[in-house]
Amino acid sequence: MSAAAPQEHQQPAPLLRRVLLQGKYEALTMLRNGEQLILAVVLPLLALVGLTVTPFLDGMGSSRVNVAVPGILALCAMSTAFTGQGIATGFDRRYGVLRFLSTTPLGRGGLIAGKVLSVLAVLCLQVVVVGLVALALGWQPTAAGWLPGLGLLALGAAAFTSLGLLVAGTVRPEATLAITNLLWILLGAMGGIVIPAERLPAAAQAVIHFLPSGALGESMRAAFLGGAVNGGAALILLLWTVIAGAAAIRWFKWN
Amino acid sequence: MVRSPKSPVLSINGLIKDVGPLSNLDGKMLRVVSGVSLIAERGEVTALLGANGAGKTTTLECAQGLQKRSGGSISLLGQDPAAAGSGLRARVGVMLQDGGLPPSARPLPLLRHIAGLYADPWPLEDLVGRLGIDTFSRTSVRRLSGGQKQRLALAAALIGRPEVLFLDEPSAGLDPQSRQLVFDLIAELRDGGMGIILTTHLMDDAQRLADYVYIIDGGRNVAEGTVQELLQRSPVADPGAEHVRTLVFEAPAGLDVAAVLPAGVDVSEARAGSYTVTGTLTPRHLAALAQWWEAKGIMPASMSLQARSLEDVFLDISGKDIR
């Protein structure tokens, strides 16, 4: 057999294998990128330490670190799913990577599934790193909080992935870079994600409850501080996921 | 000239592609492809030849399923690419004009990743060796030369050992050595039975590689045939001409060259003092010119006689205006 001869009726690798390979490839690419690592790990850890040594969160729970950690985990989801994923996808679009991969057996569906998988993989690593540092700082999570907490974190990641893909698929990559970084700072500081809405100006509070950042921050705190599921906030996250996902499917430009 | 299909890998019939008002500058619907038809055979290189903006890439992208067509029909390995699943994509290799390679990727891990998407890929070491990628397998894509990027993009298109290979401007940015390497591999793949469809605006590429050529202009087919058939097309009213030549010479400006020559050839003075005579030139034409020069005491500063190239044919058909 000469390798230069075509393989009659070449078969694709099985779907699961294709998606897992793409997820692994994208996750490793993200972890090898210095700026992405700063955004995904370093800045959330700095925020965690900052909130445990300052009095911003005093009086909201049993300890500063207990109140801070759920918000920091929510911030991690926004870093990876929205800003990191959005920027990477925007530049992949610019360089024709999305178009090339969609001509391979991976296809468009496999590409999106791989991206979602890579976001979840990086998010797991973030939870481990932030969790270990938080434990060292005296974090005492409610045992009943883990199940709803991680479920809501995944839902939040889905909402932010949809939003990130919507931005990346509709504007130039430089604009994606600017928009996702700016929103990360604005929503991180003022969006109810690490600092609860109650500690922010009263005028902003009504809006914050309906933002994906506010809904994710609130529901994470409800889970890890009281073991409760905030149904209203979860519904808001679900709506953001569905609406942004539908908009991304409708308007995403592959080239 | 209509081609009767033998074992086509791709047939396109009356392809139409309109681009919506959001995608072009003047905000109107624009028809970029208006009725292209072509057939590409297994074991042949089929070239789409045309100027920039002629509609070549759009035609290819509709055939690859990357763009939705507005009308006409396309059959790629017997299936409609617009509705294709991973089964069809596994049998088709695509090299895009802009490469489609992530700048931060390194060639070997990238190719290994893409190979994993196929059940029975081309052995990586063999492919990497053949295209000379082993010499830069760990250098990130952004640091590669144009020719290295092209070879990597070709490897990415070939790793699934496809039955059909699409190449959009495959020789762009290639140095002479890379070009020879790539052209030899394309010829070998063709001989192995692959159906290869390429676009180019370089006539020389088509002349060296193509078994069959479609000339596309303004989103339409304007001519087709084997390279030999196209070369035999005469620019003057003598369709049977088989030995068209071009004579170029430099002499004082403003001479009435046409008046001296037997009828049936085309004379132009492209710039002052540079004359081009095209047509079925015979020794009689050359003798008439030489006698005239002797009588007038003209010694041309330079002269050359050439067979017509595909470029001449192309310019005859699509006009010489810059677009």
pLDDT by position in tens, chain B (length 323): 456 778 899 999 999 999 877 655 666 788 999 999 999 999 999 999 988 888 999 999 999 999 999 999 999 999 999 998 999 999 999 999 888 999 999 999 999 999 999 999 999 999 999 999 999 999 999 999 989 999 999 999 999 999 999 999 998 888 888 899 999 999 999 999 999 999 988 878 888 899 999 999 989 999 999 988 887 765 543 444 456 778 889 999 888 998 899 887 888 888 888 998 988 888 889 999 999 999 999 999 999 887 777 777 777 777 656 55
What is the distance between the alpha carbons of residues A64 and A139, in angstroms, rounded to a whole number?
Answer: 9
**Which SS3 state, helix, strand or coil, does residue A229 take?**
coil
In chain B, helix, strand, coil percent, each to 5? 35, 25, 40
- Chain B nearest-CA distance from A5, in A, is 5
Q: What is the pLDDT of residue A82?
A: 97
Closest to A225 measured CA to CA, from A50, A57, A70: A70
Say whether residue A12 is in contact with chain B using an 8 A CB cutoff. Answer: yes
Q: What is the pLDDT of residue B171?
A: 85
Among A104, A108, A254, the residue to mutate for chain B (most B Cβ within 10 A): A104
What is the distance between the alpha carbons of residues A122 and A14, in angstroms, rounded to a whole number?
Answer: 24
Q: Which two tokens stand for residue B177?
A: 């050595």
Query: Is the torsion defined by CA of B235, B237, B243, B245 positive or negative?
Result: negative
> From the list B85, B89, B98, which residue is nearest A104 (CB)?
B89
- Chain B nearest-CA distance from A151, in A, is 31
What is the distance between the alpha carbons of residues B100 and B154, in angstroms, rounded to a whole number?
Answer: 11
On whether the CB atoms of residues B120 and A16 are closer than 8 A, the answer is no
Q: Give me the interface pTM, i.e. the ipTM.
A: 0.89
| CB pairs A-B closer than 8 Å | 123
> From the list B90, B105, B113, which residue is nearest A10 (CB)?
B90
Residues of B in contact with A101 (CB under 8 A): 100
State the amino acid at position A90 in one-letter form: G
> From the list B90, B96, B103, which residue is nearest A105 (CB)?
B90
Q: What is the DSSP string of B81-115?
A: GGG--HHHHTTEEEE-TT----TT--HHHHHHHHH
| Pairwise pLDDT comparison (A68 vs B203), residue with the higher score | A68
Tell me the helices (H) and strands (E) count for chain A, helix number first: 12, 0
Whether A3 and B123 lie within 8 Å, measured CB to CB: yes
Cross-strand bridge partners of residue B11 = B39, B75
Q: What is the DSSP string of B37-70?
A: EEEEETTSEEEEE--TTSSHHHHHHHHTTSS--S
Search chain A and give the residue with CA nearest B103.
A95
- Chain A nearest-CA distance from B161, in A, is 5
Burial of A119 (0-12, 13-18, 19+ CB in 10 A): buried
> From the list A13, A107, A254, which residue is nearest B116 (CB)?
A13
Whether B193 and A32 lie within 8 Å, measured CB to CB: no
Among A22, A93, A103, A111, the residue to mutate for chain B (most B Cβ within 10 A): A103
